[in-house]
Amino acid sequence: MGLETVSPSGRLLAVASVAAWGLGAVLGWDELVLLGVTGVLLLVLASAMTLGHGSVRVAVEITRRRLQPDDSTRCLVEVEHQGRRSLFAPEVELPIGRDRVEVFDRGREVEITGLRRGVIAVGPATTVRGDPLGLLRRTVPMTEVVEVFVHPLTVPLEPLGTGLLRDMEGRTTDDISMSDLAFHALREYVPGDDRRHIHWRSTAKLAQDGRFLVRQYLDSRRAHLVVVVDGQSYSDDQVFETALSAGASVVKRAAADEIDTTVVAAGHVCGKGRAQHVLDVFARAEQGGPVLAEAATRAVAAAPDATLVVLITSAQHSYADLRVAAAAFPPEVRKVVLRVDPSAHTRRAASTAFSVLTLRQLNDLPALLSGGTLQ
């Protein structure tokens, strides 16, 4: 039992009891000695009531762990007292975010409401042993911490574009291959070529002296979307929330289109994975972290095979800043910059290096990205 078990009133009683006992013994005052002995006995009795492990099993179950703002979920806490019930059976407390819920007897069902974007820690559920006077208090964790993710608000979007969806066709590159789907040209057969790629009709028409012509292809690769949300350039929290909502909307649409996605949101990185797990990054994001150019560099390291990148930031970045961030990606990667600016009109602008989209409010995003803007 450590000092953290003793409450401030318990510490005060301990000091006062020892002082009264000692002072009474020196001065010969029996009344002070009696007060000191009484205080010590109270502490001993409180310690006896606090000791012991108890036979309690606690289970916490949450109906939904991934929500949107203003949604609600239920938390069921089951308490099972094993063996004989004691008069001083421990209480059970469950932290939910910054709140603390007391659980009595066999359990309790708690409704978690009024949620805002973020991560809410539920638990650990603890048993609390103490005395009626509150002199000592000992807690023992009984469960693990369970995280509830509140994702940003999202809006439904149209498919991100035929060029991204048709992964069977892929996105062609300039790399020559002997086995792919993007036909490029014919060339003469050389030893080691796969005979299955011989183009017999062209060989019969064009080749002479017994030479063969084989098909040659351009490499194609699976579409891979990268979404980068800046975390340092926002004038207020609402602009930052709009940026996160825009990024989450794009990621959610990409998941429906079965496009591989990597997210870098205010310093948090999540590679390819299930859509819900990728959206968890937006729940964890807070203002701060690396600047836009550094976030883009992290995205390149996390997704070297990216085919499309969406950089989401505020209007405070200059065109030069955007160009530096976009330059972190290879030239063949398609780049789109989405600037959140509540004071401007929603519009599109094109440049030689990347497209620039200005978003006034989240509800404008579907129209802004319609017509294959990200294609």
Of 220, 184, 168, nearest to 197 by C-alpha is 184
Average pLDDT over residues 240-268: 88
Asked if the model's pLDDT at residue 117 lies above 70, the reply is: yes
Of 22-26, 50-54, 306-310, highest mean pLDDT: 306-310
Shared domain for 202 and 325, answered yes or no, is no
Shared domain for 196 and 206, answered yes or no, is yes
Do 144 and 124 meet the contact criterion of CB atoms below 8 Å apart? yes
C-alpha 97, offset from chain centre: 16
Amino acid (1-letter code) at residue 164: L
Written as six digits, the tokens of 297 are 């560099």
Shared domain for 190 and 89, answered yes or no, is no
Query: Distance between CA atoms of 183 and 107, rounded to whole angstroms?
Result: 66
Q: Tell me which residue range forms the domain holding 306.
A: 222-368
Shared domain for 209 and 240, answered yes or no, is no
Shared domain for 349 and 271, answered yes or no, is yes
- Quote the pLDDT of residue 35: 86
Asked if the model's pLDDT at residue 244 lies above 50, the reply is: yes
Is residue 160 one of the residues assigned to a domain? no
Within 10 Å of residue 153's Cβ, how many Cβ atoms?
16
Shared domain for 46 and 60, answered yes or no, is no
pTM given for the model: 0.69
Shared domain for 267 and 182, answered yes or no, is no
Asked if the model's pLDDT at residue 278 lies above 80, the reply is: yes
Res. 218 pLDDT band, cuts 50 70 90: low
74 pairs with which residues across the strands?
A: 111
Is residue 375 one of the residues assigned to a domain? no
Shared domain for 93 and 138, answered yes or no, is yes
Query: Distance between CA atoms of 146 and 122, rounded to whole angstroms?
Result: 5
How many domains does the chain divide into?
Answer: 4
Q: What percent of the chain has pLDDT over 90?
A: 6
User: Is there a cis peptide before residue 8, judged by omega within 30 degrees of 0?
Assistant: no
As a whole number, the mean pLDDT across the chain is 78
**Cβ within 8 Å of residue 41, ≥6 positions away:** none
Do 349 and 336 meet the contact criterion of CB atoms below 8 Å apart? no
Continuous segment of H or E residues that includes residue 194? none
Query: Distance between CA atoms of 157 and 192, rounded to whole angstroms?
Result: 48
The more confidently predicted of residues 21 and 54 is 21
Shared domain for 344 and 294, answered yes or no, is yes
Average pLDDT over residues 295-310: 87
Query: Distance between CA atoms of 21 and 30, rounded to whole angstroms?
Result: 9
DSSP letter for 93, please. Answer: E
Q: Report how far apart, in Å, the C-alpha atoms of 9 and of each of 38, 79, 363 are.
A: 15, 30, 56
Query: Distance between CA atoms of 216 and 212, rounded to whole angstroms?
Result: 13
Unique residue bearing structure tokens 């405070």: 316
Average pLDDT over residues 104-112: 77
Res. 181 pLDDT band, cuts 50 70 90: very low
Is residue 162 one of the residues assigned to a domain? no
Q: pLDDT digits over 125-141, tens only?
A: 887 777 777 777 777 78
- Quote the pLDDT of residue 246: 92
Shared domain for 96 and 19, answered yes or no, is no
Asked if the model's pLDDT at residue 335 lies above 80, the reply is: yes
Average pLDDT over residues 188-210: 68
Shared domain for 32 and 89, answered yes or no, is no
- Quote the pLDDT of residue 177: 45
Is residue 164 one of the residues assigned to a domain? no
Query: Distance between CA atoms of 238 and 112, rounded to whole angstroms?
Result: 23
Is residue 261 one of the residues assigned to a domain? yes
Of 116, 118, 109, nearest to 78 by C-alpha is 109
Shared domain for 285 and 360, answered yes or no, is yes
- Quote the pLDDT of residue 162: 36
- Quote the pLDDT of residue 2: 47
Q: pLDDT digits over 32-61, tens only?
A: 888 888 888 888 887 777 766 557 788 888
